[in-house]
Structure 1
Amino acid sequence: MSTDETFEETDLRVLMGSSDATAEARRQLEICNACRYCEGYCSVFPAMTLHRAFADGEITQLANLCHNCRGCFYACQYTEPHEFKINLPQALAEVRVESWENFIFPSRVAHLFQKNGVVLAAALLTALSIIFAVAYAIRPEGGVGFYAVISHAVMASIFTGATFLPAGIVAAGLWRYWRHVGGERVRLADLRQAFVDAAKLKNLSGGAADGCNYEQEDRFTQARRYAHQAVMYGFLLCFASTASGTLLHYGFGLEAPYGPLSLPKLFGVPGGILLTLGGIALIALKTRADKALGAPAAWGAEMAFVVLLTLAGATGLALYWTTGTPLVRPILTTHLGSVLALFLTLPYTKMVHIFFRLAALVRDAQTRRN
């Protein structure tokens, strides 16, 4: 792709402005592009070498392509105390967070969530309050299982809106991102390559067989990659559990509760285990890693998001083991509250990075193909 900006890119650039974070990332990328010591690392560096200069859209693309494995920082000879003060993981992380804030509407809400982790806790409490209020107002008289606590109609009404509204906001944000980075018409081969890279989490390998050194300089490990894979596949299995339950309910007239060998349970139990264990591992890794190599201002919000995601998985598992006991009611409302908070805040928390990173992988596949 040429470094010349299209009219659409220019329009978005004028709308967004060229921020201090983008200017700093450009400075560091130009130095890295001259050095090229890290060319064998993640996909950021091969993509970077295709440019002699960096437009705002290209910097945004590289920032979202970066998985923050931090291997380049520990290998760099120009970090502080060198006068170049290279810290590319932090520079790209700042641009990455800023891009989510700029492309998701309304941007002020996105900025609030990224900079203030307490908002996530407030969102959870709000979601719980809504569920409690509605559940008590419309008590099921003859419900079975979970529906004895909250009716199916109430749950379906709440989560339908909580699913489609955030999805629409994210879709609009992705469209703006795609225009900004100069994305082309998507081919099936581009999608296939992007999904393969995402499934393997190739860019979390740090470009080395032993993994990346996210935690500290001399500790190469695949731990972060495996934890991310556990969370990703756990979330997908939980989604499959919900989808299969919806199909059984509306397509075949089979209502919950479902047996241990039913599709919702066969998907949901291993999904919950992977989501919970992966989330705990990510929390542990995040507490040990250097905050200064990410976006420090967004650290609290990122941690709150991972805790919320882990809570959703753990309470989902707890429901399986406490079915038929008095504990179902508080655990069910906590589980639904955490899931509702995740869905409602999806466009404004780090969860949105899933969609932007996939878009960046698709764009990278296009660039490599061209």
Structure 2
Amino acid sequence: MQTADLIQEARRQAEICNACRYCEGYCSVFPSMHAGRAFTDGDITQLANLCHNCRGCYYACQYTAPHEFELNLPGVLAEVRRDSWEAHAWPQPLARRFHSHGGAIALALVVGFALILWALRSLGGDGEGFYAALSHNAMVAIFAPAFLLPLASLAISLRRFWRTVGGEKIRLSHLTAAIGMAGKMKDLAAGHGEGCNFEDEDRFSQARRHVHQAIMYGFLLCFAATSAGTVMHYVFDMPAPYPLFSLPKLLGLSGGGLLTLGCGWMVALKLRSARELGDAKAWSGEVGFILLLGFVGLSGLVLYGLGSTALMPALLALHLGAVLSFFLLTPFTKMAHGFYRLAALVRDAQRKTAN
């Protein structure tokens, strides 16, 4: 479906939902939807990025097929959401390609980068532990651009998105409200607090909410571990390797465990869910990204466990290849959803303040 047709179909369904109002308390989408009577393209984009695809509204709706209205709001908003990421992404062609061929692209990049990093070990290291296989300077030279370039890409993309949804000047109260909603993932409780129907229409479950939290906090713990190691290296002149009971190791191991568990659980939930209630065209990209992120956590744990063996150089190359692939693909994968959703929550906080 073309973008204009997709927006028009989402608008049609939103107008019916706005007239019905049965699902008003389900999540942030419906209060925001019911705040107006007409929907611009920007309004539809905003609603799509507020949606968490919990699917509770679909199973509660009396106007789904075989009714003549044929409502599938979670499905159409999922398509609009993916289309909005592709439309605002920079550079745009990479986003469209990943969403349709995500698994193959992620695998090719991990293997390709791992082989390159394996070859670089011939240059020799400059320290102990992992630095004996790949020098600290080489790691910085590789990963600093790989971290900063995606951030620049995301900044451009989010600026475009903010203009589309009519975003205003951000206040601290807007930001704190949005972060609070994102941290609790309240919308995945589907309003009544019993959870959503993502895996089974007849069963409410908090599983998807807990999985999202495991992945989010696992990622944040891993990022905190890297940040702690950076501070210890440059500020306190304490280079790696670090002992088990050190901040980088404790944060990294707990974060890697949560990432691995959360991503594996998420794939299991997606396999049990109905694809037609999401964006079927982006299924490969979504699963490919989840598996990539889970492999980052798992390979890090394996590397820690076998880091003192002869397998260390190969495991290090594989782990760093996965990390490098993850960073470079972040603006074009489901990872971007976290940034867009936070922006949508900030915009929703502005709407509440204005009202």
Note whether the superposition's TM-score is higher than 0.5: yes
Runs of 4+ in 1 over 3 A off after TM superposition: none
Q: What CA distance in whole angstroms lies between the structure 1 residues aligned with 2:112 and 2:315?
A: 16
Q: What CA distance in whole angstroms lies between the structure 2 residues aligned with 1:221 and 1:196?
A: 21
Q: How far off its partner does 1:225 sit?
A: 0.3
State the one-letter code of the partner of 2:114.
L
Q: What CA distance in whole angstroms lies between the structure 1 residues aligned with 2:349 and 2:256?
A: 32
Q: How far off its partner does 1:321 sit?
A: 1.4
Aligned twin of 2:120: 134
The alignment status of 1:25 with 2:10, answered yes or no, reads: yes
The alignment status of 1:178 with 2:162, answered yes or no, reads: yes
Select which of 291, 294, 300 maps to 1:310. 294
State the one-letter code of the partner of 1:119.
I
Q: What CA distance in whole angstroms lies between the structure 1 residues aligned with 2:331 and 2:113?
A: 16
State the TM-score, normalized to the length of structure 2.
0.97
Select which of 93, 114, 120 maps to 2:106. 120
Say if 2:146 and 2:324, in contact at 8 Å, map to a contact too: yes
Q: How far off its partner does 1:333 sit?
A: 1.3
Q: What CA distance in whole angstroms lies between the structure 1 residues aligned with 2:25 and 2:342?
A: 21
The alignment status of 1:332 with 2:277, answered yes or no, reads: no
Residues 71-91 of structure 1 show CA distances to partners (whole Å, capped at 9, x for unaligned) of 000001111111111000010
The alignment status of 1:90 with 2:75, answered yes or no, reads: yes
Q: What CA distance in whole angstroms lies between the structure 1 residues aligned with 2:292 and 2:89?
A: 21
Q: What CA distance in whole angstroms lies between the structure 1 residues aligned with 2:6 and 2:340?
A: 18
Q: What CA distance in whole angstroms lies between the structure 2 residues aligned with 1:112 and 1:19?
A: 20
Q: What CA distance in whole angstroms lies between the structure 1 residues aligned with 2:113 and 2:14?
A: 42
State the one-letter code of the partner of 2:315.
I
Select which of 190, 197, 203 maps to 1:213. 197
Q: How far off its partner does 1:18 sit?
A: 5.3
Aligned twin of 1:270: 254
Q: What CA distance in whole angstroms lies between the structure 2 residues aligned with 1:23 and 1:338?
A: 39
Aligned twin of 1:13: none
- Structure 1 alignment gaps of length 5 or more: 1-16
Say if 2:185 and 2:213, in contact at 8 Å, map to a contact too: yes
Q: What CA distance in whole angstroms lies between the structure 1 residues aligned with 2:74 and 2:285?
A: 18
Q: How far off its partner does 1:99 sit?
A: 0.5
Aligned twin of 1:66: 51
The alignment status of 1:76 with 2:61, answered yes or no, reads: yes
State the one-letter code of the partner of 1:30.
E
Select which of 104, 117, 135 maps to 2:89. 104
Residues 3-32 of structure 1 show CA distances to partners (whole Å, capped at 9, x for unaligned) of xxxxxxxxxxxxxx9522111111110111
Residues 274-333 of structure 1 show CA distances to partners (whole Å, capped at 9, x for unaligned) of 111111110110110111111000001100100000000011111221121112222211
Select which of 222, 239, 246 maps to 2:230. 246
State the one-letter code of the partner of 1:135.
R
Say if 2:196 and 2:205, in contact at 8 Å, map to a contact too: yes
Q: How far off its partner does 1:153 sit?
A: 1.0
Q: What CA distance in whole angstroms lies between the structure 2 residues aligned with 1:130 and 1:114?
A: 25
The alignment status of 1:353 with 2:353, answered yes or no, reads: no
- Which aligned pairs between 1:28-67 and structure 2 lie closer than 5 A? 28-67=13-52
Q: What CA distance in whole angstroms lies between the structure 1 residues aligned with 2:268 and 2:317?
A: 27
Q: What CA distance in whole angstroms lies between the structure 1 residues aligned with 2:106 and 2:13?
A: 33
- The number of equivalent residue pairs is 352
Q: Secondary structure at the match of 2:231?
A: helix
Q: What CA distance in whole angstroms lies between the structure 1 residues aligned with 2:121 and 2:170?
A: 44
Say if 1:135 and 1:154, in contact at 8 Å, map to a contact too: no
Aligned twin of 2:148: 164
Q: Secondary structure at the match of 2:337?
A: helix
Q: Secondary structure at the match of 1:364?
A: helix
